[in-house]
Chains A and B, each alone.
Chain A
Amino acid sequence: MENIPMLTILGLLPLVGALVAFGVKGRAGRNVAFGFSLLTFAVGFAVFHMSLHSDLAQTVDWIPQIGAHYALSVDGMARAMVLLTVILTPLVLAFEWNNDTPHLAAHKTPRWDVNVFGALALLVEGFALFVFMSADVLLFYLFFEGSLIPLFLMIVGWGGEKRRGAALKFLLFSLAGGLVMLVALIGVYAATSAAGNPTFLVSEIAAIEIDPRLARWLFAGFFFAFAVKAPMVPVHTWLPDTAEQATPGTSTMLVGVLDKIGTFGMIKFCLGLFGEASQWASQLVIIVAVVSIFYGAFMAITSKNLLRLVAYTSVSHFGFMVLGIFAFTITSIAGSIFYMLAHGFSSAAMFFVVGFLVNRRGSAEISDFGGVQRLAPVLAGTFLVSGLATLGLPGTANFAGEFSIMVGAFRVIPVMVFVSVIATVLAGLYVLWAYQRVFTGEPTEEVREKITDDLGGRERAIIGVLIFLLLFFGFIPRFGASVSEKTATATMSQLGIDDPVNGSIGGK
């Protein structure tokens, strides 16, 4: 087994699947895409297991002149992200199973056939997998930028009336972030060259002493790109617009998978390569994170559109992850990684249940609903469970993540945690208020006309898988925790910070 490049196979599989699905027209192509996503899931799951026992890393010289390598490896965090990606992609394809039929009244006519959607989603999956597995900064950057294109096309191709504008906004923000990162990347190369070992390999860069002043600039470059991706206030405004216009399947690939690259990158590159600079910037970053937590929560409360509401909850939740990362404790960093996984599942669940509603009603405006529980009790129940996960109820995966973040961070920044914890009440408000307006009371005539059926078998299966995962990682979080902890411990030793000991609060 040792000579089989499992990681390369894992990354290439969905890309090959994408090519085939492009070629096979119509619903047959869709089926092919779904088949490939299942196959990728199987391989991804195998990789997850094998990597626990053996080192699957590969390193091949790629452009030796500049020290670029084709290097892949998976650590604990990458494992978690691989798992998330290979689970969510088939669910997204299953959700968008019939997105070629006109009954999706909420949406303009699709630009392309359903097989193209499958192919694009597989492209996003393949690129994302390579991003998570890259052990070379240049390789990471190329796939990072590459993933924008299929996602851009997914927004342009399927969704609401104003999807072109939203797609453009998404692209502009992402390109701006990417551009800044490119500059930082060149800076890294300059630094490694100056140190006599021109390289893009993460492990080698980490070993090089970079001039602190330069390192701070490089840190800022990376951080900006990741903050756009994550997304943090004030560079978040592309997300609600995109989520409102794109189909829920696209939004899931975006928020569930691609946005995780933001927090993933902060841990792997910002903390991993520029430890001193990360500590230098940490106070500011934490303040921005806390602002994001509340900003996202308040915007979610005032949202009149369910899709925008889900997007804003993510802004709030990414704020928690960043808070955990920059608190610099093993517990809070590992908690953030765990939360990345949990949030992937919970945001997917929210986008899907809202999608079920939108597909029936033809609108995501909250005021167009009311009393739906009477007409579709199963849909109501799954919305409620997904919502309870989103608000971090104990017994769901999100609680384990949020709790670890705050327990860890409290040792270092107690005041910030005292403030942030209030957001858990706001979360209760935006979830339950949305539930109340959509599902409780008596349905109006119009709602009765439009919402005629409860969830079907395919829909139940999709949401059932996600609810199972949310409860599984909620009741038995130790499976995700052990994976997250390894990366957190390694990151802390790279940072050179000792984990705080018992008896100290706020470093005292």
Chain B
Amino acid sequence: MYPMEMEIVDPVAATGIFQFAWALIAWPLLVTAILLLAGKASNSWGHLLGVAGAVGDFVLAVVLWIQMIGTEVPNRAVKVPVTEWMTIGTMSVRADLLVDQLSILFALLVTGVGSLIFCYSIGYMAHDPNRRRFFAYLNLFIAAMLTLVLADNYALLFIGWEGVGLASYLLISFWQHRNSAALAGKKAFLVNRVGDLGLLCAMFTMFALFGSVNFNQVNHAISGAPATWITAIGIFLLVAACGKSAQVPLQSWLLDAMEGPTPVSALIHAATMVTAGVYLVVRSHAIYELTNAASLAVMVVGVVTLLAGAWVGSTKDDIKKVLAGSTMSQIGYMMLAAGIGPAGGAFAIFHLFTHGFFKANMFLGAGSVMHAMDDDTDMRHFGALRKVMPWTFGTFAMGYLAIIGIPPLAGFYSKDHIVVAAWERGPVFGVLAMIGAAITAFYMTRLMMMTFLGDKRWAEGIHPHESPAIMVGPLVVLAIGSAVLGVVLNNAIQVWLAPPTGHHPHELAWYHVPWQGWATLLLVILGVAVGYLVYRRPIAFDAPGKVNPLVYIGRNDLLADKFNHLVFVRGGGALASGIALVDDVIVDGAVRSLAGGTKGLGGVLRRTQTGYSRSYGLTMVLGAVIIAAVLILGRLG
């Protein structure tokens, strides 16, 4: 369908305000440093400076965007030289930035949605004694995320990539006096590190083949590389994307990440950071265009995750976990699109952008509900909140209609493009994507029914109330975005993104809907109807003990944790104990008799206590060991 010869845009030198693009990263970083170093002295004004971190960045991003609009299309990709990071032997890495149509879109999304969520957090975290530290970490996140999307090479991207991982770790375990929060933060960090192995290996390969990890240089050189290594790079990058974007099989951390404060879930674990994997794949589209195997793998991962996330979302009673499952699922759509090729890349970013709005909207809405329900997240204890929280209900409803894809709201357009493109690539993908849309409609209707409609099932002593204006304001803005962004951006965003994604867009009128779109809409209405009919019935206050296997599996995060525990904690624990025994008895034993007097130093055999905590690291480690073994054996054979 698309010509094989690629159009690679060479960035031009930065002029005007572009030369100060680095301030997008420096400013929030400075705010972080001030908030952390000033300590308690800044408690009274820390949150205001924190908000200024995001808002200041948003203003700068808008200014950059305006200058980009005023530039002719071929010169819109701009290289901003900053400094050399390190040159050592044949490895040379510069810390330069690339401001182009794709990165500016991300900068706008991160700082724009970020600003709203920062404002909301003033109210949400008002009674937390560590609110200042919370804003410091949020600013660290903004700085790292902008490093990730503005980098002009994979190494600098990786620094931002790990930086957002760190911010995510700090914010998930923000209430670290709760053991569950500390565990969830660590799990997120470790599973992400497994994904990072992919990015590291991709960079090792690029350095060895091309002597560079600069996007532009890699794009130019990639077609000359051996086919096996191109596929390998594609797979490595996919592994990285799976970790960061919670795609199967590295999805297990995202549901636990809901332990973090809800604004964090909205910003990091819904709107921005978790979409970084999609960004990585789209940014690397020149690589994927040359490898069918890796592209297909991206699509398979996307389709599997979009169904898996929907499955989880249909079974959870915890409102945040339903939304987390939904996030997995929606990112699955984006990955599917990103795997399709140049056209899909633009659609993936389109969906990413609208999803950023409607999902942030709904997460903040869920936070507003939790605020009203004394931090309860169990939807079985909600019901009938529509009357007492009209603003929250109204804005949430916009997000609901947007995500299930009711025209003319945002999700209808962005998701439809993906379904159509998937269908054209292969009807199997198209059908599965449509089924996913139907399930989405079902579980989101379920959420609406259990939370806002029906009878009230509030626990005793709970008196729900609408949230303060500082929290409702951002909800309204996001709701408007969820409603109109689809129509507004439908055509424009593809034209805008054509150069960085290598896509040649057709004119797409907002009223033009292909037959797959109508079919999807029909399935969505079916899903809504089923959700309505099932959850119109009375809902028990406590979850039933006995459920059917499908629900059981969904509730237990598709058994990923149980699998990890059984295979890796037990196995890894035994391995570690074995090594400890060898160290103690064999390696050290001989010496100990020599040295004398040191008996007891080695101690007894250290048995690892089993506990969910360290399981995930060991999990992944052993998985990686197996991969390594396969690689070695493959080489021998």
Closest A residue to B632 by beta carbon equals A415
Residue numbers in A under 8 Å from B158 (CB-CB): 394
A425 x B601 contact (CB < 8 A): no
Contact of B86 among A304, A400, A433 (CB under 8 A): A400
- Is A254 on the interface with B (CB-CB < 8 A)? no
Closest B residue to A441 by beta carbon equals B179
B36, B86, B169, B179 pick with most chain A CB within 10 angstroms:
B86
Q: Which of A420-442 contact B (CB under 8 A)?
A: 421-422, 424-426, 428-429, 432-433, 436, 439-442
B90 x A502 contact (CB < 8 A): yes
B177 x A404 contact (CB < 8 A): no
Q: When A233-B587, A421-B201 are in contact, do A162 and B598 touch as well, CB less than 8 Å? A: yes
A440 x B173 contact (CB < 8 A): yes
Whole-angstrom CA separation of A373 from B130 in the bound complex: 13
Contact of A477 among B86, B169, B613 (CB under 8 A): B86
- Is B591 on the interface with A (CB-CB < 8 A)? yes
Residue numbers in A under 8 Å from B181 (CB-CB): 440
- Is B211 on the interface with A (CB-CB < 8 A)? yes
Residue numbers in B under 8 Å from A442 (CB-CB): 177
Q: When A299-B580, A422-B621 are in contact, do A407 and B203 touch as well, CB less than 8 Å? A: yes
B614 x A433 contact (CB < 8 A): yes
Contact of A165 among B229, B597, B618 (CB under 8 A): B597
Whole-angstrom CA separation of A148 from B158 in the bound complex: 42
Question: Smallest CB–CB gap between B25 and chain A, Å?
Answer: 12
- Is A466 on the interface with B (CB-CB < 8 A)? no
A415 x B208 contact (CB < 8 A): no
B90 x A425 contact (CB < 8 A): no
Whole-angstrom CA separation of A477 from B87 in the bound complex: 9
Question: Smallest CB–CB gap between A363 and chain B, Å?
Answer: 15
Residue numbers in A under 8 Å from B625 (CB-CB): 419, 422
A388 x B166 contact (CB < 8 A): yes
Q: Which of B294-348 contact A (CB under 8 A)?
A: none
Contact with B along A459-488 (1 / 0, CB 8 A): 000000000000000001110011011001
B617 x A426 contact (CB < 8 A): yes
A168 x B598 contact (CB < 8 A): yes
Which of A47-55, A195-203, A264-272, A326-334 lines the interface with chain B?
A: A326-334
Residue numbers in A under 8 Å from B606 (CB-CB): 302-304
A298 x B209 contact (CB < 8 A): no
- Is B389 on the interface with A (CB-CB < 8 A)? no
Closest B residue to A401 by beta carbon equals B88
Q: Is the interface of B mostly helix, strand, loop or mixed?
A: helix
- Is A408 on the interface with B (CB-CB < 8 A)? yes
Whole-angstrom CA separation of A262 from B158 in the bound complex: 32
Contact with A along B162-206 (1 / 0, CB 8 A): 110010010001001111011100100110011011001101110
- Is B537 on the interface with A (CB-CB < 8 A)? no
B163 x A428 contact (CB < 8 A): no
- Is A237 on the interface with B (CB-CB < 8 A)? yes
Question: Smallest CB–CB gap between B480 and chain A, Å?
Answer: 38
Residue numbers in B under 8 Å from A481 (CB-CB): 86-88
Whole-angstrom CA separation of A439 from B186 in the bound complex: 13
Question: Smallest CB–CB gap between B27 and chain A, Å?
Answer: 16
B210, B601, B631 pick with most chain A CB within 10 angstroms:
B601
B91, B179, B189, B632 pick with most chain A CB within 10 angstroms:
B91
B166 x A407 contact (CB < 8 A): no
A429 x B617 contact (CB < 8 A): yes
- Is B3 on the interface with A (CB-CB < 8 A)? no
- Is A241 on the interface with B (CB-CB < 8 A)? yes
Q: When A330-B90, A440-B182 are in contact, do A407 and B595 touch as well, CB less than 8 Å? A: no
Contact with A along B592-614 (1 / 0, CB 8 A): 00111110110100101000011
Whole-angstrom CA separation of A335 from B207 in the bound complex: 15
Question: Smallest CB–CB gap between A289 and chain B, Å?
Answer: 15
B197 x A172 contact (CB < 8 A): no
Residue numbers in B under 8 Å from A244 (CB-CB): 601
- Is A3 on the interface with B (CB-CB < 8 A)? no
- Is A100 on the interface with B (CB-CB < 8 A)? no
Whole-angstrom CA separation of A489 from B594 in the bound complex: 42
Residue numbers in B under 8 Å from A331 (CB-CB): 88-91
Closest B residue to A338 by beta carbon equals B88
Interface residues on B, range: 35 or more
- Is A505 on the interface with B (CB-CB < 8 A)? yes
Question: Smallest CB–CB gap between A485 and chain B, Å?
Answer: 6
- Is A164 on the interface with B (CB-CB < 8 A)? yes
A394 x B159 contact (CB < 8 A): yes
Question: Smallest CB–CB gap between B150 and chain A, Å?
Answer: 15
- Is B388 on the interface with A (CB-CB < 8 A)? no
B36, B600, B628 pick with most chain A CB within 10 angstroms:
B628
- Is A496 on the interface with B (CB-CB < 8 A)? no
- Is B506 on the interface with A (CB-CB < 8 A)? no
- Is A374 on the interface with B (CB-CB < 8 A)? yes
Question: Smallest CB–CB gap between A454 and chain B, Å?
Answer: 11
B196 x A502 contact (CB < 8 A): no
Residue numbers in A under 8 Å from B183 (CB-CB): 436
Closest A residue to B200 by beta carbon equals A421
A505 x B209 contact (CB < 8 A): yes
Whole-angstrom CA separation of A164 from B597 in the bound complex: 8
Residue numbers in B under 8 Å from A436 (CB-CB): 182-183, 186, 613
Question: Smallest CB–CB gap between B578 and chain A, Å?
Answer: 9
B620 x A425 contact (CB < 8 A): yes
Question: Smallest CB–CB gap between B196 and chain A, Å?
Answer: 7
- Is A110 on the interface with B (CB-CB < 8 A)? no
B579 x A298 contact (CB < 8 A): yes
Contact of B88 among A295, A301, A334 (CB under 8 A): A334
- Is A65 on the interface with B (CB-CB < 8 A)? no
Question: Smallest CB–CB gap between A451 and chain B, Å?
Answer: 15
Whole-angstrom CA separation of A406 from B89 in the bound complex: 13
Contact of A298 among B179, B575, B587 (CB under 8 A): B575
Whole-angstrom CA separation of A331 from B597 in the bound complex: 45
A421 x B208 contact (CB < 8 A): no
Question: Smallest CB–CB gap between B250 and chain A, Å?
Answer: 12
A164, A410, A425, A485 pick with most chain B CB within 10 angstroms:
A425
- Is A395 on the interface with B (CB-CB < 8 A)? yes
Residue numbers in B under 8 Å from A428 (CB-CB): 189-190, 193, 617
B596 x A168 contact (CB < 8 A): yes
Question: Smallest CB–CB gap between B585 and chain A, Å?
Answer: 11
A417 x B598 contact (CB < 8 A): no
- Is B576 on the interface with A (CB-CB < 8 A)? yes
- Is B577 on the interface with A (CB-CB < 8 A)? yes
Question: Smallest CB–CB gap between A474 and chain B, Å?
Answer: 9
Question: Smallest CB–CB gap between A333 and chain B, Å?
Answer: 8
Contact with B along A382-394 (1 / 0, CB 8 A): 0000001000011
Contact of B205 among A394, A410, A432 (CB under 8 A): A410
Q: When A165-B597, A173-B591, A407-B207 are in contact, do A429 and B179 touch as well, CB less than 8 Å? A: no
A165 x B598 contact (CB < 8 A): yes
Whole-angstrom CA separation of A303 from B205 in the bound complex: 35
Closest 5 pairs (CB-CB, A-B): A331-B89, A429-B617, A330-B89, A440-B182, A165-B598
* Extra 14 A-B pairs, beta carbons < 8 Å, given A168-B596, A488-B89: A164-B597, A165-B595, A244-B601, A298-B579, A394-B163, A404-B91, A408-B90, A418-B627, A418-B631, A425-B190, A428-B190, A432-B189, A476-B85, A503-B208
Q: What are 13 A-B contacts defined by CB distance under 8 Å? A: A172-B594, A295-B579, A329-B90, A330-B90, A374-B177, A381-B36, A393-B166, A406-B200, A428-B189, A428-B617, A441-B179, A478-B86, A485-B89
